Amino acid sequence: MVGPDGQPINNPAGTGPDGILDPENPVTTPEGTGPVDDGVTVDDMDPDLIDEGDPTMGETAPVEPGTVVDVPDLPEDADPVTSTDVFLGSRVRRLTNAEYGNTIADLFGIEVDLSRLPADGRQNDFTRNISQAVDPVLGGHLQTFAEEVAGAAVAAGLDALAPCAATAADAACAQTLIEQFGERVYRRPLLTNEVEALLELYTAGADGEANAFAAGVEVVLQAMLQSASFLYVSEMGQTAAGGEIVPLGSWELAASLSYLLTAHPPDADLIAAARDGSILEPTVREAQATRLLGTAAAELQIQRFVKEWLKLDRVAKLDKADDTFDALRAPMEAETDAFISAIAVNGDGRLSTMLTAGYTFVGPEMASFYGVQPDGDGRADLAGTGRLGLLQQASFLAANSQNDESGPVLRGVAVLRKLLCVDLPDPSENPDPEVQMVMPPARDEELSTRERFAMHSTNPKCVSCHTMIDPIGFSFENFDAIGRVRTEDPVGSSRAVDTSGGLNVGTTVDGVVADSVELSLKLAQTPKTSECFARHIYRYGSASSETEAEGTFVRSLGEAATISDNVKTLLIQLVESNSFLLRRTPTAAEQL
Amino acid sequence: MKFEHSRRSFLRALGAGAAAFPFFRLLEHSAVHAQSGNTPMRLITVFHPHGALSPRFLRQEGETESDFDISYEGCLLSCFDDAATYGVSFKDKLLALDGIDLLAGIRGGKAGHDAVGGIFTGSAPAETPPNSSIEQYLAVEQGLGTDTRFSSVVLGVGFGGSAQGENISYGSGGVLIPKIINPQETFNLLFGDLVASEDPAAAAALERQRALGRSVLDYVRADIQALRPRLAAPEQSKLDLHLTTLRELEKRLADLEGACTLPGDPGPFPYTETWNQGGPYLHEITQLQLGFLAQAMACDLTRFGSVFLCDLSRGGDQGTGITGLPTDNHEGLAHAYRPRVYDGANVAEAGDPATWDNLGKLNRYNYGCIASFMQQLNTADLLDDTLIYMSGEMGDPSMHSSWDVPTLLLGGAQGKFQMGRHVVLKTNCAMNQRWCSGAEQPVPQNRVLVAIAQAFGVATESYGVSDDSTITTGALSELTSLGVSL
């Protein structure tokens, strides 16, 4: 853990509150994490509930304060860049399938059937990532789509793309279309040689055709829609010099901002801010981001972020032994979408609220599944259900469990990695050959799930990790593989489920919990959770898993205890940051 | 406006339909052979999930590498010595290996399911591995797939996901090559545009469309090449895959030499994914996918293939004659398996044979599918020029161990390997002694990959990525020479 001055924070253990809540009354919202309250920030958080960090659990090595580095073209009101700051390299990010579909829809009003594309590759479970490429199978589909979309656009009439087509459909109009519509397709003005090359394609396509203009433009559109300038979001920076830190260009910034917050290409406002260069100013980016975060597209994007982060989108494709699950997939997803919208989008935006909300939003299927009575808007009080917030929603529980059993290790690992950013080593990475063997405890009719896993955690070589993992996982034992409440384990001699567990990860809220509801309340109180949330916002927003660049962004947020857990606040802080603005161009040694 | 994906419009405009004959019987007349003596070798990598029932795979006591039985009751390999079912015994086209360790993955912290992406790359996949899988390496990086319409064909059954553990094919720099799991898509890709037409006007229109298509690809290529010099190596690798893609698309715009009989369009499948009600179709899909790949090989449309087989989960009988499999073959089968535990050559614990049957059924099913695939290649007179490398990700499925992974090399391999053998590279280690001490050194699977690369004429002494170069270096000499005795 590192303070804003670059010095390690080294508070003696126990200086924070113990954070243990009244076990008699666990389903209460702790102070400062409370009910929907628009505009709440971390400043409002009860300082007594703030965990000031722990010397043993820091993910970031201490970094000496850096000296200020001169970055040419750095906007005046940007934060200074220091020598310890690390920025992502120049890069191009392929549109996700969803972004591709949205972009085609915005440009042409055509909906393509994305289900035919290979699934997005994932990093950190996110579809927005830098590893996505155009392989031969995808390339074939993109070629087909380009041909079909170009054909349909031509058939629909090209005056929608270039008004001159209505009156003077000739080569000059084709050039106008290439320059003006092309700017929207490439999300930047076209270079002279690009216009020339596309005009050559126009001429080749028009040659000898009865409807020469349409035939020529069709080939131009086919080329544009297969080009790298369309398929990748460019984050190259403005110059090609080796090893320099450079700001993204204004057009690159507009596109990056738009795809991050909406999964759509830049709209007219953003294009204007790119054209006049004002988007380079952090304040303009903040205003644009605030505007975009109010759109319906941003709502879907925030849902997508939360769901991919916690693997909740896997509900759509989970394979469960329980035959009742298929009918619950869509209702579970709808519940989670509505919940995220109510809190992250339309509520106070805070993770702590998502973790501790005593309500959810259900249709008839989930109402019956949970045993709750929703009001007319679908909102249902969770009191008495043993559920609270996001982690006791069926989607989280089902996505983080086995096919036919609760899977305490999966749930424990999910909480540690996704909510606390505890870097758990894979057992097989351990140099000890015995630990390298990943040994899920054998099924045994005599032992409950908990008893089986408790046995394997008695191995002293496994204990160092499993004392963290298992007590978290066990606290969810009252939920089965699809997230249904259960009071008995289906196997085992002592079948009554035991949800006692605890948090043992070096925070000041460490301690025993009676069940996962108490666990959620604890998680909502430690800044470790907020910092981890900020890291995931970065991983999602930057489409990267580079830890040093991530550390630079997290340091820019200030002291751990002051980091917001508001999803919109964090997104805006990200787009305002140098981490979003700056890239490092490669040196010759870093190239093939 | 809703827009459905379909075949390229200029081809559809020709209006002719493919001959809808059962392709199975047409293979014998349709193999396209290379012109002269230098016949190229084919490579197909095959993954089967959940590991193998090693007590029914390992060489039995008293056998030797050339004198061994695979036809005994319950033996996983019996399909390879079953002339009654497959027309001929493939025992002389089989090289079974006991004692292969997925060591690069193990050392890099990726064992069990996480080892899947490491099998054919010889690396430890983080989210993806750092390098190509062997068939992509040979087909693309070494250019051995250049002369065919498709450098390689990557197929799967039942699992369409992109996550770690769901894929075995990776391009340069470890970029994921997604697999096709829908047989109709496989058909459309491989055969959908191979439609002959007698109409000269249509032929002229096709030629014009192809010329324009080439110009479009040239434009896209220039666009990528303008970006490439400004990026660092990993980004350049990504764009290099895109350039490879453009070359692949360009090849499809060329005329095809020679005649080839086409399979029929399989039509759509309502479900293709295991999680999504695809279970009842997995068997039929497997047969179609392997049949299309065999036909594509016979037509010389490709010389490199990759197949990710299914686990029959949620499928029931499906006409396979296999009964009694649990609904979920991961939890219900692999994890439920109680293994025999070895200590060197000795059996330390007998295990529970009652838990073996289902895993054995799944293994025999997947091996049988490959025996059927070999029969099709044999009918097309291609089997002697083919090497199939088949592996699971685990030696002991219940422990998700990637030590002692039962490994098969199949086909004639042009005599590059000494087939017809069951080689014991090392005896199984005791389960708590995974780094076998003394004479029992691990056998890195990378050595198989090096030997395959060398068999394809590549002068390399290493394959895969590991921080310990002894893991990635050297060919497995036992593949090419007789006389290993243990």
Per-window interface: B 235-254 vs A, CB < 8 A: 235-242, 244-246, 248-249, 252
Contacts of B216 in chain A (CB under 8 A): 201, 219, 222-223, 226
The answer for B168, left when phi > 0, alpha when psi is -120 to 50, beta otherwise, is alpha
What does the alpha-carbon distance between residue B21 and residue B303 come to, in Å, rounded to a whole number?
23
| A439 in reach of chain B (CB within 8 A) | yes
Residues A306, A537: Cα–Cα separation, whole Å: 9
The larger pLDDT score, comparing residue B248 to residue A21, is at: B248
> Looking at the predicted structure, is the pLDDT value of residue A214 above 50?
yes
Q: Cβ contacts of residue A318 below 8 Å, gap of 6+?
A: A325, A329, A398, A399, B275
Say what the ipTM of the complex is: 0.86
B214 contacts chain A (CB < 8 A): no
Q: Which residues pair with B396 in a beta bridge?
A: B401
Please provide the size of chain B in residues: 486
Closest residue, chain A, to B338 (C-alpha): A442
- Dist. CA A17–CA B14, nearest whole Å: 77
pLDDT at residue A456, rounded to an integer: 61
User: CA nearest B399: which of B450, B316, B338, B344?
Assistant: B338
Taking a C-beta distance cutoff of 8 angstroms, is the pair B475, B462 a contact? Answer: no
Q: Which of B236, B245, B338 sits opposite A442 (nearest CB)?
A: B338
Chain A contact present for B201, CB below 8 A: no
Q: Which residues pair with A350 in a beta bridge?
A: A566
pLDDT in tens, B287-299: 999 999 999 998 8
Q: Residue A458: its pLDDT value, please? A: 67
Inter-chain residue contact B8 with A227, CB threshold 8 Å:
no
pLDDT score at B485:
39
Tokens coding A167: 């009156």
For the segment B95-127, what is each residue's pLDDT rounded down to a tens digit?
999 989 998 988 877 777 788 999 999 998 877
Q: What is the reported pTM?
A: 0.81
CB contact under 8 Å between A136 and B245, yes or no, is: yes
Distance CA A257, CA A277 (A): 14
**A91: contact with B, CB 8 A cutoff:** yes
Chain A positions in Cβ-Cβ contact with residue B127 (cut-off 8 Å): 122-124, 131, 545
pLDDT exceeds 90 at position B334: no
Residue B317 at interface with chain A, using a CB cutoff of 8 Å: no
Contact B236 A138 (CB under 8 A): no
Confidence bin at A65 (pLDDT 50/70/90):
low
Rg of chain A taking only CA atoms, in angstroms: 26
Percent of chain A with pLDDT over 70: 84
- pLDDT for B184 beyond 60: yes
According to the model, what pLDDT value does residue B402 have? Answer: 83
Q: Chain B contact for A134, CB < 8 A?
A: yes
The mean per-residue pLDDT over the stretch A424-441 comes to 59
Instruction: Report percent pLDDT > 90 for chain B.
Output: 49
**Cβ B400–A438 below 8 Å, yes or no?**
yes
Q: What is the C-alpha separation between A181 and A293, in angstroms, rounded?
A: 26
Chain B 136-195, residues with CB within 8 Å of chain A CB atoms: 150-151, 154, 160-163, 171, 175-178, 180, 185, 189
Residue B275 has pLDDT above 90, yes or no: no
| Inter-chain CB proximity A90 and B235 less than 8 Å | yes
Question: What is the C-alpha separation between A403 and B333, in angstroms, rounded?
Answer: 12
Nearest residue of A to residue B397, measured between CA atoms: A439
B94 forms beta bridges with: B410
DSSP letters spanning A410-436: HHHHHIIIIIS---PPPGGGSSSHHHH
Instruction: Write the CB contacts of A193 (distance below 8 Å, at least 6 apart in sequence).
Output: none
Residue in B220, B224, B352 to test binding to A, most A beta-carbons within 10 Å: B220
Share of chain B above pLDDT 70, in %: 82
Cα–Cα distance measured from residue A450 to residue A474, given in angstroms and rounded to the nearest whole number: 7
State whether A119 and B178 contact (CB < 8 Å): yes
Q: What are the φ/ψ torsions at residue B47 (nearest 5 degrees)?
A: -110, 135
* pLDDT tens sequence across B31-75: 444 444 568 999 999 999 988 888 899 999 899 999 999 999 999
**Partner-chain contact A121 B176, CB within 8 Å:** yes
Please indicate if any CB of chain B lies within 8 Å of the CB of A120.
yes
Q: Do the chains contact at B232 and A317, CB–CB below 8 Å?
A: no
Question: Using CA atoms, how far apart are residues B341 and B351, in angstroms rounded to an integer?
Answer: 7
Q: What is the percent of chain A where pLDDT is above 90?
A: 67
Tell me how far the alpha carbon of residue A255 is from its chain's centroid. Answer: 18
pLDDT tens, position by position, B456-474: 999 999 999 998 899 999 9
DSSP reduced 3-state for B46: strand
The CA–CA distances, whole Å, from A221 to A178, A214, B251 equal 9, 10, 22
Decide if B330 and A403 are in contact by the 8 Å CB cutoff.
yes
pLDDT at residue A527, rounded to an integer: 93
CA distance B245 to chain A (A): 4
Of residues A144, A222, A234, nearest to B216 (C-beta): A222
pLDDT for residue A84 is more than 70: yes
CB contact (8 A) between residue B245 and residue A205: no
- Which range is most confident: A219-228, B4-13, B94-103, B193-202? A219-228
* C-alpha–C-alpha distance, residues A251 and A187, integer Å: 7
pLDDT value at residue A12: 31
User: What is the band of B432 on the pLDDT scale with cuts at 50, 70, 90?
Assistant: very low
Q: When comparing pLDDT for A416 and A25, which is higher?
A: A416
Query: Does any CB of chain A come closer than 8 Å to the CB of residue B109?
Result: yes
Confidence of residue B309 (pLDDT cuts 50, 70, 90): very high
How does the average pLDDT of chain A come out, rounded? 86
Interval A235-247: pLDDT, tens:
998 776 688 999 9
Q: In 3-state terms, what secondary structure has residue B45?
A: strand
**B338 touches A: beta carbon within 8 Å:** yes
Residues B160-169: tens digit of each pLDDT: 887 778 899 9
Sign of CA dihedral B84, B90, B95, B101: negative
Q: What's the pLDDT at A50?
A: 38
Backbone torsions φ then ψ of B220, nearest 5 degrees = -65, -40
Closest-CA residue of A relative to B216 is A223
The answer, for A197 touching chain B at a CB cutoff of 8 Å, is yes
